[in-house]
C-alpha cells in the first residue's frame, strides 16, 4: 500500500509541475519570440530607413545594377543582415546574399508579402521560410521614394537562427526544470507518503489485530488533522465493535448453554430444508452424527412421520403438533411441535421443530392405569370374598357353628389382606409426598440386619430353609432411618422365604464398597422370568400374581423397597434366573 500511495503522490506532483513548467515554457517562448521579433523589426526598420535615406541622396536611377549590388553587399556586411534593393516593378537590383549571375536569376519580388504591404502601408513585414537561402527569415520593407514617387524598395531580412537558439535554450531550461521537478516530486512524494502512510500502516496493523479478536489495541493520534479524526473514529469503532461482539458472544454462549442443557431436542431448518441447528439432545435422541449440519433433513431423518411434519411446516407454512414413536435406537415417544418462521431469505431459519421425550410420561400413564386397575382388582377380590361369605352367613350359614366359624375366619383373613394393601398404599403415599423426611441416624448395620432376621427364623425352620448371615467385621455403620431400612429388609426376606421351596437357602450379605455399603438378599427360589425383571418394582406388579396372592402378598412390597432405598440416596436392582433363584441388591451411602 505504501508504494501505491507514493507513486500516486509522485505522478500527481510530477504531472502538475510538468504541466505548469511546459505551459510556462511555452508562454515564455512565445513572449520572448514576440519581444525578440519586435526588437529585430525595429532594428531592421531603422536600418531600412537609413538605406532608404541614402537613395534619396543618390537617385536610384543614376546608379547601375552592379553598384547597387555592391552597395547592398556593403550594407549587409555592416548590419549583419540580408539587404535587397528592388525597383518599382519588383526586379531585384541588388542582394547582399546573391551576386552576378545568381542575382539575375532571382524571381520578381513585387508580389512578396512585405513588398505588397509596403506599397499599401508605407512599410511591410513578414516572417517565412526563404527558398533562396533555405532558412526562416524576418523580412521588412520600406518604399524608396523620389519626388513622392515610389521608385523601388529597400528590403532587409534577418535569419531567425537566434530565435531558434533562444527556443532551444528555453527548452533546455524547461527540460532541466522537469528533471529537477521529477527529483523533487519523487522526494516529496516519498516524504509525504511516509508521513501519510505511517498512521495508515498503524491503523492497518490495528485492524489486522482487531480482525484476530484483539479489541484492546488503540491508535494514538499525533496530529490534529483528518488522520487524527479518523484515528479517533477508528478507536470508537473498535470499542463499539468490542462491546457488540462481547454482547453477541455472551448471547451466543447463553443460547448454546440453554440448547446444550435442554432435555428437549431442537431442530432448525432453512427454507431449503437444510439443517442449521441440532442440539445435543436431538442428536442423542436420534443417534445422529455431529456432521449433519447443512444437510437436507430427510437425509438424516428417515422417520416418515417426522419427514412429513417437516415438509408440512416448511412448504405449507402451518404450525403442526404430533406424537412420533421411535423404535430405534430405543423405543421412545416424542411430542413434536413444528413452528413456521418468517425468514428474510432461504439461508435463514424458516422452521423450528422441538421434540419432547414423553416416553416416561407415557410409561407413567400406563403405570397409573395399571395401578388403578390392579388396586381396584386387588381390593375388589377380598371385598367380593367378604361380601360373598357375609351373604352366605345371612342366608343361614350362621346357624351352623362350624361353617360360620370357617366363614368368619375367611372374612378375617380377607379383611387383614385389605388392611395390608391399604397400609402399604399409605406408606407409599407417605414416602412419595413432598414433606416426607427420613429420620437419619448412625446405625450399626450388623445389628440392624440381625434384628430384621429374627422374626423370620421360625418361618425358615418350619420350611426347612437355611437362613445365612454373611456380615463383615468390624461393624459397618450407616447413616439411615432404622425403621425404613428394617422395612426394606423385612420385605426382601419375606419375598425370599415365600418363593423358596422347602430345603432351599436364603443368604444375607453386606459388603463395604468404599463410599457405600451393598446388601444382598439371595435365595434359591423359583426365580423371575427375564421379561419381568424391568417391571417387578412397579406397584401391584407380580411375575406370578396367583401365587403371590395365595401367599398373602399385596404386590406393593418391592415398590416400597425401591422408594425407601432411593430416598436414602441408594439404588436397588435384581439378578435372577428362572428356577435358579434371585439376588436382590440395594446400596446405602456411608
The CA angle 408-412-414, to the nearest 5 degrees, is 115
Q: Is the pLDDT score of 415 beyond 70?
A: yes
- pLDDT confidence tier of residue 2, bands split at 50, 70 and 90: very low
Backbone angles phi, psi at 224, to 5 degrees: -120, 55
CA–CA separation, 20 vs 181, rounded Å? 10
Q: Rounded mean pLDDT of 101-116?
A: 84
Q: What is the pLDDT of residues 23-32, one digit of tens each?
A: 776 777 677 7
**Model pLDDT, residue 551:** 47
**Model pLDDT, residue 235:** 80
CA–CA separation, 79 vs 152, rounded Å? 20
The gap from C-alpha 254 to its chain's centroid, in whole angstroms, comes to: 17
**Model pLDDT, residue 372:** 74
Q: What is the pLDDT of residues 63-85, one digit of tens each?
A: 777 888 888 888 888 888 888 88
Q: Which long-range contacts (CB under 8 A, 24 or more apart) does 431-435 make?
A: 431/560, 431/563, 431/564, 431/567, 432/563
Where would I find the H helices in 531-587?
A: 545-550, 557-567
CA–CA separation, 468 vs 557, rounded Å? 22
Q: Is the pLDDT score of 547 beyond 70?
A: no
Q: Is the pLDDT score of 315 beyond 60?
A: yes
Please give the mean pLDDT across all residues of the chain. 80
Q: Rounded mean pLDDT of 438-453?
A: 89
Q: CA 256, 260, 263, 267: dihedral to nearest 10 degrees?
A: 70
Q: Is the pLDDT score of 577 beyond 50?
A: yes
pTM (global) more than 0.85: no
Q: Could you please report the per-residue DSSP string of 280-342?
A: HHHHHHHT--GGGTTSBHHHH---HHHHHHHHHHHHS---EEEEEEE-SSS-EEEEEEEEE--
Q: Is the pLDDT score of 587 beyond 90?
A: yes
CA–CA separation, 481 vs 489, rounded Å? 12
Closest among 504, 508, 414, 409 to 454, alpha carbons compared: 508
**Model pLDDT, residue 512:** 87
CA–CA separation, 494 vs 517, rounded Å? 21
Which secondary structure element, helix H or strand E, spans residue 5, and what is its range? helix 2-57
CATH architecture of the region 262-357: 2-Layer Sandwich (3.30)
What is each CA distance from 42 to 73, 139, 351, in whole angstroms?
21, 12, 99
C-alpha cell at 411: 372374612
**Model pLDDT, residue 406:** 86
C-alpha cell at 251: 448471547
Most confidently modeled range among 88-102, 148-162, 388-402, 519-533: 519-533
**Model pLDDT, residue 329:** 64
Closest among 163, 165, 143 to 154, alpha carbons compared: 143
Q: What is the pLDDT of residues 124-158, one digit of tens each?
A: 888 888 777 777 888 889 888 877 788 888 888 88
C-alpha cell at 507: 443368604
Q: Do domains 363-430 and 437-589 have the same CATH topology?
A: no
CA–CA separation, 582 vs 578, rounded Å? 8
Q: Are 83 and 94 in contact (CB under 8 A)?
A: yes
C-alpha radius of gyration, the chain, whole number: 63
CA–CA separation, 222 vs 199, rounded Å? 9
Most confidently modeled range among 86-90, 98-102, 130-134, 184-188: 86-90
Coil, strand or helix: which one is 518?
strand
Q: Where are the domains of the chain?
A: 6-165, 215-261, 262-357, 363-430, 437-589
**Model pLDDT, residue 507:** 93
CATH number belonging to the domain at 363-430, selected among 3.90.1150.10, 1.20.120.450, 1.10.287.130, 3.30.365.10: 1.10.287.130
CATH number belonging to the domain at 6-165, selected among 3.90.1150.10, 3.30.470.20, 3.30.450.20, 3.30.460.10: 3.30.450.20
- pLDDT confidence tier of residue 542, bands split at 50, 70 and 90: low
Q: Is the pLDDT score of 249 beyond 70?
A: yes
Q: Which residues contact 84 (CB under 8 A, 6 or more apart)?
A: 72, 92, 94, 95, 96, 109, 154, 155, 156, 157
% of the chain beyond a pLDDT of 90: 9
Q: Rounded mean pLDDT of 316-345?
A: 81
Q: Is the dihedral of CA 230, 235, 238, 241 positive or negative?
A: negative
**Model pLDDT, residue 57:** 65
CA–CA separation, 195 vs 208, rounded Å? 21
CATH architecture of the region 437-589: 2-Layer Sandwich (3.30)
**Model pLDDT, residue 575:** 92
Amino acid at each position: 500500500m505504501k508504494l501505491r500511495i507514493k507513486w500516486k503522490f509522485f505522478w500527481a506532483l510530477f504531472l502538475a509541475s510538468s504541466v505548469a513548467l511546459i505551459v510556462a515554457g511555452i508562454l515564455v517562448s512565445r513572449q520572448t519570440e514576440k519581444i525578440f521579433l519586435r526588437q529585430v523589426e525595429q532594428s531592421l526598420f531603422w536600418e531600412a530607413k537609413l538605406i532608404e535615406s541614402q537613395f534619396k541622396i543618390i537617385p536610384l536611377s543614376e546608379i547601375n545594377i552592379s553598384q547597387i549590388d555592391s552597395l547592398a553587399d556593403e550594407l549587409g556586411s555592416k548590419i549583419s543582415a540580408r539587404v535587397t534593393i528592388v525597383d518599382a516593378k519588383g526586379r531585384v537590383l541588388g542582394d547582399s546574399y546573391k551576386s552576378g549571375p545568381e542575382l539575375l536569376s532571382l524571381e520578381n519580388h513585387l508580389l512578396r508579402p512585405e513588398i505588397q504591404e509596403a506599397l499599401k502601408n508605407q512599410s511591410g513585414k513578414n516572417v517565412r521560410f526563404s527558398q533562396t537561402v533555405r532558412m526562416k527569415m524576418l523580412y521588412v520593407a520600406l518604399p524608396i521614394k523620389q519626388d513622392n514617387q515610389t521608385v523601388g524598395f529597400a528590403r532587409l531580412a534577418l535569419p531567425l537562427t537566434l530565435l531558434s537558439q533562444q527556443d532551444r535554450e528555453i527548452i533546455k531550461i524547461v527540460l532541466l526544470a522537469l528533471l529537477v521537478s521529477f527529483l523533487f516530486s519523487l522526494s516529496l512524494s516519498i516524504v509525504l507518503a511516509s508521513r501519510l502512510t505511517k498512521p495508515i500502516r498503524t491503523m492497518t496493523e490495528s485492524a489486522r489485530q482487531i480482525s484476530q479478536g484483539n479489541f484492546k489495541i488503540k491508535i494514538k493520534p499525533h496530529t490534529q488533522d483528518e488522520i487524527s479524526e479518523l484515528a479517533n473514529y477508528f478507536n470508537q469503532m473498535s470499542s463499539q465493535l468490542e462491546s457488540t461482539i462481547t454482547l453477541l458472544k455472551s448471547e451466543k454462549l447463553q443460547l448454546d448453554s440453554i440448547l446444550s442443557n435442554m432435555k428437549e431436542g431442537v431442530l432448525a431448518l432453512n427454507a431449503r430444508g437444510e439443517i442449521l441447528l441440532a442440539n445435543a439432545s436431538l442428536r442423542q435422541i436420534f443417534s445422529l452424527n455431529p456432521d449433519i449440519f447443512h444437510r437436507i433433513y430427510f437425509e438424516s431423518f428417515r422417520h416418515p412421520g417426522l419427514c412429513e411434519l417437516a415438509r408440512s411446516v416448511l412448504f405449507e407454512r402451518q404450525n403442526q403438533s404430533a406424537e412420533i414413536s421411535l423404535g430405534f435406537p430405543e423405543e421412545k415417544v416424542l411430542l413434536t411441535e413444528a413452528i413456521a418462521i418468517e425468514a428474510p431469505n432461504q439461508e435463514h431459519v424458516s422452521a423450528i421443530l422441538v421434540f419432547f421425550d414423553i416416553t416416561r410420561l407415557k410409561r407413567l400413564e400406563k403405570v397409573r392405569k395399571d395401578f388403578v386397575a390392579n388396586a381396584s382388582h386387588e381390593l375388589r377380590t377380598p371385598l367380593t370374598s367378604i361380601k360373598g361369605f357375609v351373604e352366605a352367613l345371612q342366608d343361614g350359614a350362621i346357624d351352623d357353628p362350624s361353617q360360620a366359624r370357617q366363614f368368619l375366619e375367611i372374612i378375617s383373613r380377607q379383611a387383614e389382606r385389605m388392611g395390608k394393601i391399604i397400609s402399604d398404599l399409605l406408606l407409599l403415599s407417605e414416602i412419595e409426598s413432598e414433606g416426607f423426611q427420613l429420620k437419619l441416624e448412625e446405625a450399626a448395620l450388623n445389628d440392624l440386619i440381625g434384628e430384621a432376621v429374627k422374626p423370620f427364623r421360625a418361618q425358615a425352620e418350619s420350611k426347612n430353609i437355611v437362613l445365612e448371615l454373611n456380615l463383615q467385621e468390624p461393624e459397618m455403620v450407616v447413616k439411615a432411618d432404622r425403621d425404613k431400612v428394617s422395612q426394606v429388609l423385612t420385605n426382601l426376606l419375606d419375598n425370599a422365604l415365600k418363593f423358596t421351596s422347602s430345603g432351599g437357602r436364603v443368604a444375607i450379605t453386606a459388603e463395604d464398597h468404599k463410599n457405600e455399603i451393598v446388601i444382598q438378599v439371595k435365595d434359591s427360589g423359583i426365580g423371575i422370568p427375564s421379561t419381568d425383571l424391568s417391571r417387578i418394582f412397579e406397584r401391584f406388579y407380580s411375575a406370578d400374581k396367583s401365587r403371590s396372592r395365595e401367599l398373602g402378598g399385596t404386590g406393593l412390597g418391592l415398590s416400597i423397597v425401591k422408594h425407601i432405598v432411593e430416598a436414602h440416596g441408594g439404588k436397588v436392582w435384581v439378578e435372577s434366573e428362572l428356577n435358579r433363584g434371585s439376588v436382590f441388591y440395594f446400596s446405602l451411602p456411608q
